[in-house]
Every structure is written in C-alpha cells, then in structure tokens.
Amino acid sequence: MTYFEDAMTHPGFNPFSLDSDADYLQWRARKLEDYPARMEDLVVHIDDPRQLTQAEHDAILALCRKTNMAIYASQVGNVADKEIARQCGIKFGLKRLDHNMLADDDGITSLAVHASGEHQHYIPYTDRPIKWHTDGYYNPPERQIWGMQLHCVCSAATGGENGLMDPEIAYIQLRDANPDYIRALMEADAMVIPARMDEDGVARPDEGGPVFSLHPVSGDLHMRYTARTRSIRWKKDPVLEAAVAFLEQLLNSDSPYIFHGRLEPGMGLICNNVLHDRSAFSDDGECHRLLYRARYYDRIEGTELAAVYPG
C-alpha cells in the first residue's frame, strides 16, 4: 500500500486522488487562477515579525494559502535575534521545532559559513551552491517537516540567491504530463536516503519513502525531494526514472512558476516546506551571511485543504 492509498481512507474533497479527475481539475483551476508571476508578488511589507498586525498577518496568510509561501520585508534590519523567527512562526501555528543534529540548542539553526568543526562538512554551512530540495528529506515519517522559516540577519557580499517553487505546482506539472509519474512518486519505496556514518558507526540509518505523500488527517500534500545524487537512491523503475528526469528538467527550466531572489537583512521566508535551492555566495570583511532557519512538524495554520478549498 502506498502512502497515497493509506490517506484515501479519509473521505471528502481529494484533488490528489488519481481516481478523481473532477476534484483534481476543480482544485487545479482554483490553484492556478491569479497565481503570482514574480518574486515581488510574494513580498509583504511589515514592521516587526515579532509583533504582526492583523493586516500583516492576513496578507502573509493569503499568500501562503495560494502559494504555500510568503516573503516578508520588515523594518528590523540586521538585528540578530532568533525570537524574530520564533515569534513569527507562533503567529501561524508553527510551534513544534525540529531539533535536528546541527541546530542550535533552542532548535533554530544559525546558517553561516563554518571554516572548521563538524559544521564545515555539511553544505548549508559552506558558501557552495545547494541544489533543489525540500527541508528534512532525510527525516523519518514521525519527524516529517511540514513548515519552514528563513530569516535574514545579514546577506552575503555577493550571491546567495534562492529559487523557490510550490510543491503543489510541481505536482500539477507532473500529473498533467503523465499521471503515472505521480503514482510512481507516491510509492512507499520510491526513494532511499542512504545512512549517514560517523566515527562511531551509523549516525542515521537508511530512510526510505515516497516523494509525494498526504497528511493522514487533513489530506494536504507533502513533498520529500533532493536533487543531490550522492544523497539519494531511486528505485529501479522506468516510470519513476522518467518522472525524476521530468522533475529535474522542470526545476532547471525557466518555468514562470519558479521564483528567484535574495533575502536581505530583515527579510524572511515562511512556507509549507517548499522546494528551494541556493546559489554560491561570497562573504567579505564586512558582510558575513547569516540566516536563521526553523523547521517545524506543523503546517502553517489556515492553509489546510479544507480551509482553502472548502468545496
């Protein structure tokens, strides 16, 4: 049984059922109607993420309901305060932080270049480019990452741009091309993230699972993906291989559904774990890139299928 089939035990509106074209086409039309065309269309100008006004909150939520993401541009500038991310997240129901291996003690990660220590061996803590992925793709199902935030304290001297894509848009592109692509990507053994080893042996075992799965209660779509070939083993299946190739081509295309831009001091991304990448960057004597990253076991409150598409 696939993760998809298991979630089908929950009745109601289900645009992700391959047996329900009517629900899918209704959802697809509403999803694509007036979809943002530029990165600037995702930006909400606010005062302080720690103290959102109702209007600021509603503007951010409206974008997240449409695109699963929003970018705020605030007045806090380069203030180094992780409460900015924490308090903003709480306003949207993001509370259950993933205390991953290299996170700070409070569960929020300080992303900066590390020239020494354990961090230097992991690409987010270097200035090298990061390929397309969703956060926590190596996590087990009980620690699935549904929500994610980035808050910029200081941008790099040059580079460090992000690409962003809504996983629901990726789903539409794949399903429109060939519904069998979705079926293959929802198989429970579609992909395996190899074990991570350390000097004491296995630090994390192999972690298998689907690319697309559904929330067992709300039916919301989740995507688990990385374009890093060293970090993944795909099942040997011709349809799956074609689906993965299609997705890779999509993410490296000039699709109007891919947004490109850079977070500057005081700006942040709040999202339902969208696809993203990062270009290489360079620091200098005055600019040392620092972003706070928070990963959550929660989705943004108010973006559930039943709330956005009530029928």
Per residue in 241-281, pLDDT tens?
999 999 999 999 999 999 999 999 999 999 999 999 999 99
Given this model, what pLDDT does residue 20 score?
81
Span of 83-97, 114-128, 223-237, 263-277 with lowest mean pLDDT: 114-128
Choice among 130-134, 155-159, 193-197 with the minimum mean pLDDT: 193-197
Q: Is the pLDDT of residue 48 over 60?
A: yes
Interhelix angle 21-32/167-177, nearest 10 degrees:
130
pLDDT (0 to 100) of residue 310: 75
Query: Half-sphere exposure of residue 235, counting CA atoms within 13 Å on the CB side?
Result: 17
Q: How far is CA 209 from the centre of its chain?
A: 17
- Percent of the chain topping pLDDT 90: 76
In this model, does residue 105 exceed pLDDT 90?
no
* Chain mean pLDDT for the chain: 90
Helix H or strand E segment including 270: strand 267-271
Tokens linked to 280: 């290489």
Average pLDDT estimate for 130-152: 95
